[in-house]
Amino acid sequence: MAYDEVIINLDNVRKEFGDFIAVDNFSLKIQKGQFVTLLGPSGCGKTTTLRMIAGFEMPTSGKILLNGKDITNLPPYKRPINTVFQRYALFPHLDVYDNVAFGLKLKKVPTEVVDRHGKKKIKMKRLSSETIDELVTKALKLVDLEELEDRDISTLSGGQQQRVAIARCIVNKPEILLLDEPLGALDLKMRKDMQLELKDMHKKLGITFIYVTHDQEEALTMSDLIVVMKDGVIQQIGSPIDIYNEPANAFVADFIGESNIYNAQMSDKLLVHFLGHDFKCLDDFAKGELVDVVVRPEDVELVDATRGDIVGRIDNKIFKGVHYEYSIMIGKNEIIAQSTKDYPLNIEIGMKIDPDSIHIMKKTVSKNIFTGLSINKHNELELANTTFEVDLTQLLKDSHIDDEGYLVSKKGQKYDLTNAKVNAEVDLDKIEFSDDTSYGQAIGRIVSVIYIGDHYQVIAKSDDDEDFIIDTDYVYNEGDIVGIKIDKKDIKLVLKGDISAYEI
């Protein structure tokens, strides 16, 4: 479907809460009739953005235009926009019909009337009960609830309640429907059904949907356009296919589906080095440039060990219905591959990757991001062949570590984070390199020293190929061996998946 009329234009929008910047530099044009999804991890600013579009929150700076008109300071009730919230906020004492009719009964619309002297006038009048009935019946039909109009809200299932909430919004005929994780409270099966129903409804209604989710699969299946956000900043805007096939950076690649992501270096023009091999590629970067490489598991071709460009050992496998997903170790590096063939564990296996399947991205080095790490039984982070002390309480607000080493929530729920999969982030000025190799936790060799403007960016590589990057005024020489030190308080952890998986 082609869209050619901008309905909402967010122009360089920023939202601050005190010192905290929740949304920054947010510019996005949404076309009339589009299904747009804001996607990103918890706390990245999705709800805040939606609330600014709805008018519940005013931007600190920037503008919001609706059909070309500035609505930045217009109150919510004057915007032709309705919101479906995660908790659907229905009136429990009213039945289905009255919940949907509620807004209409209060609404006044300009109506032509004839006064005593036979003169035509425009008066604000309430809708007639016939009109209300007609509109409510139509809305209930759209969400497939005609049969249930007399039922009490409390007797409905979660999915049915969700549909009432949607009917209540669409009955007002908004130009834009905002949906903030509307399926968050539903179980997986119901979510899938409702995804299809929502998509269908979007088609039938022809209005603009702005949808919020942190579920990448949901975003990929439902949207015309996906906006990937992190820390209040847009990372990429694109169609589901673009975002999946051509992620703009390592964060997007990691967030959208299962990916193999490696720190790599261009060995030559159209030749990139990672996993100990020079691979041909199609992306043109300068020789010597440090880059991120993404390879999707379905693009790793498994072949006989003698025929592979690289060879590894099958460490693990999971049957996923149609194919197997293999975890293959190449030295200390892991690569995830998919195949319909059933290979035994622990054999040597060859791998080939087509140049077209090697996605190379410019390294945007704003901080150190270490991916695919785990926590050991002493609550330490395993990184670069050694361990780093970390503060696990950052993973859960108001939590503490008890005497036995479990993470305990405010309400007393315990979590065992042994073997938990995490990513770790460290700012460029929070790592120290020292000539004294016994200083700090890890050891690395300086592999790159680049002068950027007024300081050096220096990279030390550990012997298991982790890159530690720092901004410094001090000059190091390539080849120097250094001790690497990071303070516990400076390691930011990002848990893969939900913390509830570690409840005990």
Ligand X SMILES: Nc1ncnc2c1ncn2[C@@H]1O[C@H](COP(=O)(O)OP(=O)(O)OP(=O)(O)O)[C@@H](O)[C@H]1O
Q: In what order do the strands lie in the sheet with 400-401?
A: 400-401, 407-408, 414-415
Q: Is 230 in the site for ligand X (CB under 6 A)?
A: no
Q: Does 213 bind Mg ion (CB under 5 A)?
A: no
The listed partner (ligand X, Mg ion, none) that binds 222, CB under 5 to 8 Å by sort, is none
Among the listed residues 47, 161, 195, 236, the single contact to ligand X using CB under 6 A: 47
Task: Give the count of beta carbons closer than 10 Å to the beta carbon of residue 457.
Answer: 17
Integer Cα distance of 410 and 491 in angstroms: 23
User: What is the distance of C-alpha 295 from the center of its chain?
Assistant: 19
Nearest to residue 53, comparing CAs of 40, 43, 66?
66
Residue 214 binds: one of Mg ion, ligand X, none (C-beta under 5 to 8 A by kind): ligand X
CB of residue 33 to ligand X, shortest distance in Å: 25
Give the three-state DSSP class for 427.
strand
Segment 195 to 214, residues that bind ligand X, using CB under 6 A: 214
3-state SS assignment for residue 290: strand
Q: Does 497 bind ligand X (CB under 6 A)?
A: no
Q: Where are the beta strands (DSSP E) in 395-441?
A: 400-401, 407-408, 414-415, 421-427, 431-434
42 binds, among Mg ion, ligand X, none (CB under 5 to 8 A by kind): ligand X
Least distance CB 393 / ligand X (angstroms): 17
| Interaction between residue 22 and ligand X (CB under 6 A) | yes
CB of 348 to ligand X, least distance (A): 43
In whole angstroms, the minimum distance from the beta carbon of 40 to ligand X comes to 6
Q: Where are the alpha helices (DSSP H) in 424-489?
A: none
Nearest distance from C-beta of residue 44 to ligand X, angstroms = 4
Q: Select the residue interacting with ligand X from 12, 25, 27, 43 (CB under 6 A).
A: 43
C-alpha–C-alpha distance, residues 147 and 144, integer Å: 8
Helix H or strand E encompassing 96 = helix 96-106
Residue type, 91: F
Closer residue to ligand X in complex, CB, 52/177: 52
Alpha helices, H only, 375-457: none
Residues 6+ apart with CB under 8 A from 71: 55, 64, 65, 79
Closest contact distance (angstroms) between CB of 504 and ligand X is 24
Q: Give the residue with the Cβ less far from Mg ion, 9 or 49.
A: 49
Identified binder of ligand X from the candidate list 9, 34, 48, 216, rule CB under 6 A:
48
Judged by beta carbon distances under 5 to 8 A according to partner kind, the member of Mg ion, ligand X, none in contact with residue 492 is: none
Minimum distance from CB of 53 to ligand X (Å)? Answer: 12
Only one residue has tokens 């990929």, namely: 220
Q: Is 396 in the site for ligand X (CB under 6 A)?
A: no
* CB-nearer residue toward ligand X: 49 or 99: 49
Q: How many residues does the chain have?
A: 504
Asked whether position 373 contacts ligand X by CB under 6 A, the answer is no
Q: Which residues contact 466 (CB under 8 A, 6 or more apart)?
A: 263, 370, 383, 384, 444
| 225: its two tokens | 């356009």
* CA-based R_g, the chain, Å: 27
- Binds 358, which of ligand X, Mg ion, none (CB < 5 to 8 A, cut-off by type)? none
Which span sits near ligand X by CB under 6 A: 37-45, 237-245, 291-299, 365-373? 37-45
H/E element, 160: helix 158-170
Beta carbon of residue 212, minimum distance to Mg ion (angstroms, whole number): 6
Residue of 33, 45, 55, 308 that binds ligand X (CB under 6 A): 45
Q: How far apart are CA 326 and CA 333, in angstroms?
A: 13
Of 47 and 99, which CB lies nearer to ligand X in the complex structure? Answer: 47
Using DSSP, state whether 364 is helix, strand or coil: coil
**Partner from Mg ion, ligand X, none binding residue 75, C-beta < 5-8 Å depending on class:** none
The mark string for 55-94 relative to Mg ion (x by CB under 5 A, - otherwise) is ----------------------------------------
State yes or no: residue 42 binds ligand X (CB under 6 A): yes
Cβ-contact 249, 235 below 8 angstroms: yes
Using CB under 5 A, pick the residue from 9, 34, 37, 47 that binds Mg ion. 47
Is residue 309 exposed (0-12), middle (13-18) or buried (19+ Cβ within 10 Å)?
middle
Which 3 state secondary structure label does DSSP give 305? coil
Selected binder of ligand X within 46, 230, 296, 485 (CB under 6 A): 46
Is residue 91 near ligand X by the rule CB under 6 A?
no
Grouping H, G, I as helix, E, B as strand and the rest as coil, residue 59 is coil
Identify the DSSP state of 410.
Answer: T
- Looking at the Cβ atoms of 47 and 462, the one nearer to Mg ion is 47
Nearer to ligand X, 45 or 238 (CB): 45
**Binding residues for ligand X, per CB under 6 A?**
17, 20, 22, 40, 42-48, 214
**Binding residues for Mg ion, per CB under 5 A?**
47
